[in-house]
């Protein structure tokens, strides 16, 4: 086991590969050329790094036409990368965010919402007793079932997925927990679908629309 931990740590810890993994936290697929541009390296070099990440079962690759698209293999890997970010001292976090305050305010963490808004939404869900923490996992209460069902989220279908339903995820910028798991992913998708939030080009940061501001206040009494 020690050897395996050392092997994975070495793979993740490489400067080029760590930037690749960080970039892929937005849960979008990238071509090798796009990732080469992000890390400012050659196509030949990026190919070597991507192969190592794929062989280590950290990335998945899908071919479409002439292009290959790379993504993180699963949400657990995203959680590991976010967890590593928690080790960065606060005074050095500006380097992690590239001085982009929007990343800290509201961003995607793979397939769920993070940042200040993600933390505050989770806090409101707890305050209203829609979710409760039980043995390091969140349970949805009867009131919570009504809340999520009214949003069009099928809780029973989510529980059948082969992943954790709802758990706390420590937010590296807020140092507080936000909601993660299949429930959080469904909530994020619903917020996009209802135009509460919108993606910002070339960034994990997301913006909150006027419609979203009103909905978050009406449903959770959250002022953003």
Q: What is the tens place of the pLDDT at every residue in 79-93?
A: 888 888 878 776 665
Are 82 and 58 within one domain? no
Task: Please give the distance of CA 188 from its chain centroid, rounded to a whole number.
Answer: 10
Residue 99 pLDDT > 50:
no
Are 148 and 56 within one domain? no
Out of 52, 73, 94, a domain closes at 73
| 41-68 residue pLDDT tens | 999 999 999 999 999 999 999 988 888 9
Nearest to 173 by CA among 77, 106, 219, 224: 106
Out of 73, 92, 113, a domain closes at 73
Are 189 and 114 within one domain? yes
Out of 46, 73, 100, a domain closes at 73
Number of domains making up the chain: 2
| 172-204 residue pLDDT tens | 888 899 999 999 999 999 999 999 999 988 788
Are 192 and 159 within one domain? yes
Are 36 and 102 within one domain? no
Q: Average pLDDT for residues 157-179, to the nearest whole number?
A: 92
Burial of residue 52 (number of CB atoms within 10 Å: 0-12, 13-18, 19+): middle
Q: What is the pLDDT of residue 110?
A: 87
Q: How far apart are CA 155 and CA 153, in angstroms?
A: 6
Are 65 and 13 within one domain? yes
- The DSSP 8-state label assigned to residue 162 in this structure reads S
| DSSP class per residue in 182-214 | HHHHHHHHHHHHTTSEEE-TTSSBEEEPHHHHH
Are 65 and 96 within one domain? no
- Domain membership of residue 23 as a residue range: 2-73
Q: Specify the long-range contacts of residues 103-107, CB closer than 8 Å, at least 24 apart.
A: 103/173, 103/203, 103/204, 103/205, 104/173, 104/174, 105/205, 106/197, 106/205, 106/206, 106/207, 106/208, 107/203, 107/204, 107/205, 107/206
Tokens in use for 201? Answer: 């080009």
Are 60 and 82 within one domain? no
Q: How far apart are CA 155 and CA 183, in angstroms?
A: 7
Q: What is the CATH number of the domain that holds 54?
A: 1.10.10.10
Q: Average pLDDT for residues 73-78, to the nearest whole number?
A: 88
Give me the residue label for tokens 């590969």. Answer: 17
Q: How far apart are CA 23 and CA 40, in angstroms?
A: 13
Are 193 and 121 within one domain? yes
Are 183 and 94 within one domain? yes
Q: What is the pLDDT of residue 182?
A: 97
| 4-46 residue pLDDT tens | 888 888 999 999 999 999 989 888 889 999 999 989 999 999 9
Are 57 and 100 within one domain? no
Number of H helices, E strands in the chain: 12, 11
Are 133 and 102 within one domain? yes
């Amino acid at each position: 086991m020690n050897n395996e931990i050392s092997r994975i740590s070495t793979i993740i810890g490489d400067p080029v590969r760590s930037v690749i993994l960080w970039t892929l936290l937005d849960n979008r697929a990238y071509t090798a050329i796009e990732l080469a541009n992000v890390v400012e390296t050659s196509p030949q070099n990026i190919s070597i790094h991507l192969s190592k990440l794929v062989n280590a079962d950290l990335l998945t690759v899908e071919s479409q036409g002439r292009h290959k698209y790379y993504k993180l293999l699963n949400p657990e890997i995203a959680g590991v990368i976010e967890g590593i970010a928690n080790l960065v001292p606060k005074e050095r976090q500006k380097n992690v965010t590239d001085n982009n305050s929007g990343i800290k305010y509201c961003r995607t963490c793979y397939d769920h919402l993070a940042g200040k808004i993600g933390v505050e939404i989770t806090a409101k869900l707890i305050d209203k007793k829609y979710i409760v923490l039980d043995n390091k996992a969140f349970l949805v209460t009867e009131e919570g079932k009504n809340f999520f069902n009214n949003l069009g989220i099928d809780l029973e279908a989510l529980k059948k997925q082969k992943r954790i339903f709802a758990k706390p995820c420590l937010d590296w910028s807020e140092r507080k927990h936000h909601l993660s798991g299949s429930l959080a992913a469904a909530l994020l998708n619903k917020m996009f679908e209802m135009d509460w939030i919108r993606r910002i080009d070339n960034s994990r940061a997301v913006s909150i629309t006027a419609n979203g501001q009103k909905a978050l206040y009406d449903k959770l009494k959250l002022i953003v």
